[in-house]
Amino acid sequence: MAALPYWRLSSFYLFYFALLGSTAPFLALYFDHLGFSAARIGELVAIPMLMRCVAPNIWGWLGDYTGRRLAIVRFGAVCTLLTFSLIFVSQTYAWLAMVMALHAFFWHAVLPQFEVITLAHLQGQTSRYSQIRLWGSIGFIITVVVLGRLFEWLSLDIYPAALVLIMAGIVLSSLWVPNAQPAQGNRPAGEGFLKQLRHPGVLAFYACVALMQVSHGPYYTFLTLHLERLGYSRGVIGMLWAVGVVAEVLMFMAMSRILARFSLRRVLLASFLLAALRWVLLGSFAEFLWVLLFAQVLHAATFGSFHAAAIAFVQRSFGARQQGQGQALYAALAGTGGALGALYSGYSWNALGPTLTFSIASLAALAAAVIIATRMQEDRP
């Protein structure tokens, strides 16, 4: 435990999720600032998520085959910075679509491999994962609050430069992290990835990962625009995003105790049910600040408890030589769901309105809850 490079690992999560904190709330706002329609915004936001369907599996296989996961993380971080910098060349729809695809192909190489490295450093102390990962949430909070205020004072034209600065932080922090290889687990060495994938409940879990991200489509694509049109300022919107991530941080701090008391199945089921409630509140009652604050607190469940339980499930379900592919499949199906969510919300936002768009999200989360309840086996906490 004394050898755990806590701050080196944490610094990477801080910068990585600071980048997410600059894209999830503000990317659609930036595209709106450039004059794109809701449908085009949905397509541009969906492109990085579509790349998440492909890229993690390619890089995950390469990481498992070569064992050089940290080299992949560093290479992906550098190429993310270089390819995103092409945004300064042009801001036409076709050029932005290319920039979104290129930088996402490398960005999505990074996190699944880094998760394997982190868990290898923890050497089975899975409960300590949340203590490291919470720094990613802190990075997200700092970014949404600072950028929210900054965009009130300055033009959104500075947005690409802010992202490049954060990407440089990811590169530097990746160079600071020491390497580690996962220990051989209790899965038989000859048991392949596909065979492990067919174990009871594993495919059902991955289907629910996709559904959870489908349900997040209108949240990540249009929440900022939705709140701005309800009269909230950009500074307040940034604070509201931060409220959700503060709740997430508190959940991460409590997850070791929660997972010691409750099974992964029960934690996942509760996360999906609370997600269904959250989307209804955001779609129908966001004009009431107290309802909006409560809905943001539910981010503790829709991301915090869900993600921590999902990482634990993947680690438990796959052997050491398949950990990279297991994490990559998790990222890929999350990307598939996220892309579908961004696309459907982009097309339905103007046609059906926010209430029905968020209601569809709620139904997706409910469907996942039913699958978890009926297809996943109860496990001991």
Residue range 236-275, pLDDT digits in tens: 998 999 999 899 889 988 888 898 899 999 999 999 999 9
Are residue 145 and residue 121 in the same domain, yes or no? yes
CA distances from 264 to 82, 139, 166, 306 (A): 39, 27, 34, 9
Are residue 202 and residue 312 in the same domain, yes or no? yes
Of 227-231, 330-334, 337-341, the range with the lowest mean pLDDT is: 330-334
Query: Has residue 84 got a pLDDT over 50?
Result: yes
Q: Quick check: is 130 in a domain?
A: yes
What distance in Å separates the CA atoms of residue 154 and residue 241, rounded to the nearest whole number?
A: 20
* Residue 2: per-residue pLDDT: 41
* Residue 127: per-residue pLDDT: 64
Residue range 113-139, pLDDT digits in tens: 898 888 888 876 766 787 888 899 889
Cβ-contact 256, 129 below 8 angstroms: no
Q: What is the mean pLDDT of residues 162-167?
A: 97
Question: For the chain, what is the domain count?
Answer: 2
Q: Quick check: is 184 in a domain?
A: no
Are residue 90 and residue 197 in the same domain, yes or no? no
Give whichever of 46-55, 226-235, 331-340 has the largest mean pLDDT: 226-235
The percent of residues above 90 in pLDDT, for the chain, comes to 59
Are residue 172 and residue 95 in the same domain, yes or no? yes
Mean residue pLDDT across the chain: 89
What distance in Å separates the CA atoms of residue 357 and residue 43, rounded to the nearest whole number?
A: 16
Are residue 216 and residue 341 in the same domain, yes or no? yes
**Domain CATH number, residue 127:** 1.20.1250.20
Are residue 357 and residue 289 in the same domain, yes or no? yes
Quickly tell me which residue has 């050029």 as its tokens.
Answer: 95
Query: Among 117, 130, 132, which residue's Cα sits nearest to residue 178?
Result: 117
At which of 155, 178, 201 does a domain end?
Answer: 178
Q: Quick check: is 301 in a domain?
A: yes
CA distances from 203 to 114, 144, 290, 293, 319 (A): 23, 35, 38, 34, 16
Are residue 225 and residue 309 in the same domain, yes or no? yes
Are residue 170 and residue 197 in the same domain, yes or no? no
Which range of residues forms the domain containing residue 152? 1-178
What distance in Å separates the CA atoms of residue 272 and residue 367, rounded to the nearest whole number?
A: 9
At which of 146, 178, 210 does a domain end?
Answer: 178
Are residue 135 and residue 230 in the same domain, yes or no? no
Q: What is the mean pLDDT of residues 331-354?
A: 91
Q: Quick check: is 263 in a domain?
A: yes
Residue range 66-79, pLDDT digits in tens: 888 899 999 999 99
Q: Quick check: is 188 in a domain?
A: no
Q: Quick check: is 186 in a domain?
A: no
List phi, psi (to 5°) of 251: -65, -45
Are residue 26 and residue 162 in the same domain, yes or no? yes
Residue range 274-297, pLDDT digits in tens: 999 999 999 999 999 999 999 999
What distance in Å separates the CA atoms of residue 293 and residue 296, rounded to the nearest whole number?
A: 5
Quickly tell me which residue has 């997040």 as its tokens.
Answer: 216
* Residue 352: per-residue pLDDT: 95
At which of 111, 146, 178 does a domain end?
Answer: 178
Q: Quick check: is 83 in a domain?
A: yes
Query: How many whole angstroms from its chain centre is CA 92?
Result: 27
Q: Quick check: is 254 in a domain?
A: yes
Are residue 259 and residue 126 in the same domain, yes or no? no
* Residue 24: per-residue pLDDT: 86
pLDDT band at 189 (very low <50, low <70, confident <90, very high): very low
Are residue 216 and residue 260 in the same domain, yes or no? yes
